[in-house]
Chains A and B, each alone.
Chain A
């Protein structure tokens, strides 16, 4: 068995009665871009802080190249980090900020100048050496912070929601920069965010955090196509859930009865509690077909609203039992022309493409 580059093993962190991280384990390969995705309070930031050495875990271990990091204090871990808040040293210029880690490491003057220049070039801020951080925009400050975190070539770079204070347009611009820098430097990145779009755009793999645990680890498409839990299904991509009755289940496939009476078979079944009678069925809005007449497996619905969203049309519908389901159709889809608010319609889907969670 090959040794993983970075290995988080059974990390647990409690504060008195409160458990922030329950049991987190994962391996990260060298050069990988791994994102911790989850809502606030899910334990993703705490896990990152334990990696940085700002907090000590109650239990568990962290190994880098097979060596435990826990007994090493933060300043000797040689890890880079970009924070959520702006953490440039306000009394130093941009150049001095980037040079700071090198000065601490007693690197020679000439080499410092060269490496600072290179680092600033990497984040496209050449010529900003003499600026004070207070005179720069939030996006620029975070890019300087990135240069400061990379200038000493750390094996691992931690990023704790570095873009959350920026507006959407700027955020996308810097996401692109981060992706480029990751490719250019090959540094291993652990990235924390609560924004699924950001996670999907940047990461090689995503670890979805929920209530102090990792629900699932996988690539974006894997998480989307094959969510392991109800939480992951709801957090990645858009989703509808309806309640269904389990008629039988075997080999990870289930036979379900829908509220309208339709019975579907061969639905992938997850986390089935033995003996559970009802399940939650995931229906992706873009995997639903809408027609005015009954075709195939599906549900009878009433059209509630039709919203134009640019390249998509979102149709919101109500089932007979009052559950709301949204359907996404490409602009110009033939079904649109024939329906209007209040009409009866039929939603159909492929049972194999759905997921049921007990």
Chain B
């Protein structure tokens, strides 16, 4: 009866109480940051003595913040495109191929996601120093592509798993070339997987900190690197403003994903 909600008895208030506390624990820091970003106190006193937009003004008037945001956007966009293309091809190969060692290969492709990022960051940094890629956009993209690719392979792989290949064969019998069939039949059929791959790849790059710290140079910084560098000096409310914009962005993505899922069901 422990798994019957209506028959939990005395456990019910305990479980509900704990869950409410955990929800507060998870949501309050986020709400708190958003509130502080509009507070007037330089020392982040809460509740704020009065409300202001000045941290946002400071954020937007500093070209370094804007520039780092644009850098983040650019890198994340390129990583997303490459990750989806490479991920689609790799998932197709793993899904359709009959060659030996596919399981081992799949595991290899997913390893960058589960290993400590700092190991990958240090190793790549060493290599890029030798290749002259350290502090370059190309280096950044390669580093982020490594951790975005597993998300694409998983998302698109799952979608391909649920797609009957004979539909593609039918398109070929109708006269389409294999690649035409793939683009016109398979790609639309797994579009939800591609969409998920794109969102996850984008977020993987956009939010990534550790690799970015090692790949960055004084002239090439993504938004997380800029926040990191500022944070190491002081806790200025400008970071609260930047964080709030990032949080708003996250909520927007979540809503978009939820709407997309709803649209697919309807």
Direct interface between A and B, CB < 8 A: yes
- The complex places the Cα of A54 from the Cα of B1 at a distance, in Å, of 7
Interface residues of A in 50-84 (CB under 8 A from B): 54-55, 74
A55 to B1, CA, bound (A): 10
Q: Does B232 contact A (CB under 8 A)?
A: no
Instruction: Type the 1/0 row for B34-64, where 1 means its CB is closer than 8 Å to any CB of A.
Output: 0000000000000000000000000000000
- The reply on B7 being an interface residue by CB < 8 A is yes
A residues within 8 A CB of B4? 54
A74 to B1, CA, bound (A): 9
Q: List 6 A-B contacts (CB under 8 A).
A: A54-B1, A54-B4, A54-B7, A55-B6, A55-B7, A74-B1
CA distance A54 to B6 in the complex (A): 9
- Chain B interface size band reads under 10
What distance in Å separates the Cβ of B94 from its nearest Cβ neighbour in chain A? 31
Q: What 1/0 flags go to B1-41 for Cβ under 8 Å of A?
A: 10010110000000000000000000000000000000000
Smallest beta-carbon distance B10→chain A, Å: 11
In the complex, what's the smallest C-beta–C-beta distance from A335 to chain B, in angstroms? 55
* Nearest B residue to A52, CB-CB: B1
The list of the 4 closest CB pairs from A to B, nearest first, reads: A74-B1, A54-B7, A54-B1, A54-B4
> Shortest CB–CB separation between residue A228 and chain B, in angstroms?
35
How many interface residues does chain A have, given as a range?
under 10
* Cα–Cα distance between A54 and B7 once the two chains are bound (Å): 7
- How far does the Cβ of A36 sit from chain B's closest Cβ, in whole Å? 21
Distance in angstroms from B150 CB to nearest chain A CB is 33
- Considering only CB atoms, which chain A residue lies closest to B6 in the complex? A55
A219 to B7, CA, bound (A): 36
| A15 and chain B: residue at smallest CB distance | B6
Shortest Cβ distance from residue B9 to the other chain A in the assembled complex, whole angstroms: 8
A contact residues around B6 at 8 Å (CB): 55
How near does chain B come to A268, taking the closest CB pair, in angstroms?
Answer: 45
A286 to B7, CA, bound (A): 49
A245 to B14, CA, bound (A): 65
- Kindly provide the distance from the CB of A345 to the nearest chain B CB, expressed in whole angstroms: 53
Chain A residues contacting B7 (CB-CB under 8 Å) are: 54-55
Q: How far is the CB of A194 from chain B (nearest CB, A)?
A: 23
Distance from A67 Cβ to chain B, minimum over Cβ atoms (Å): 22
Question: Which residues 279-315 of A sit at the B interface, judged by CB distance below 8 A?
Answer: none
Across-interface contacts of A54 in B (CB, < 8 A): 1, 4, 7
Docked pose: A74 CA to B7 CA in angstroms = 10
A55 CA to B4 CA, complexed, in Å: 10
Contacts of A55 in B (CB 8 A): 6-7
Once bound together, how far apart are the Cα atoms of A32 and B101, in whole Å?
Answer: 63
Q: What's the Cα separation between A344 and B1 when bound, in Å?
A: 63
Tell me how far the C-beta of A205 lies from the nearest C-beta in chain B, rounded to whole angstroms. 30
Chain B residue nearest in CB terms to A73: B9
| Cβ contacts under 8 Å, A74 to chain B | 1
Q: Within the assembled complex, what's the spacing in Å between the Cα atoms of A55 and B5? A: 11
Query: In the docked arrangement, what's the CA distance between A286 and B167, Å?
Result: 54
A191, chain B: closest CB distance, angstroms: 22
Distance in Å: Cβ of B181 to nearest Cβ of chain A: 43
Distance between A105 CB and nearest chain B CB, rounded to angstroms: 18
Measured between beta carbons, the chain A residues less than 8 angstroms from B1 are 54, 74
CA distance A54 to B4 in the complex (A): 9
* CB of A126, distance to nearest CB on chain B (Å): 32
The complex places the Cα of A259 from the Cα of B7 at a distance, in Å, of 56
Within the complex, the shortest CB–CB distance from A142 to chain B, in Å, comes to 21
- Nearest-Cβ distance from residue B1 to partner chain A, whole angstroms: 6
Closest CB in chain A relative to B198 CB, distance in Å: 41
Nearest Cβ in chain A — how far from B3, in angstroms?
11
List CB contacts (< 8 Å) of B68-85 with chain A. Answer: none
Give the shortest distance, in Å, between B4 (CB) and chain A (any CB).
7
Using an 8 Å CB-CB cutoff, how does the interface string of B79-97 with A read, 1 for contact, 0 for none? 0000000000000000000
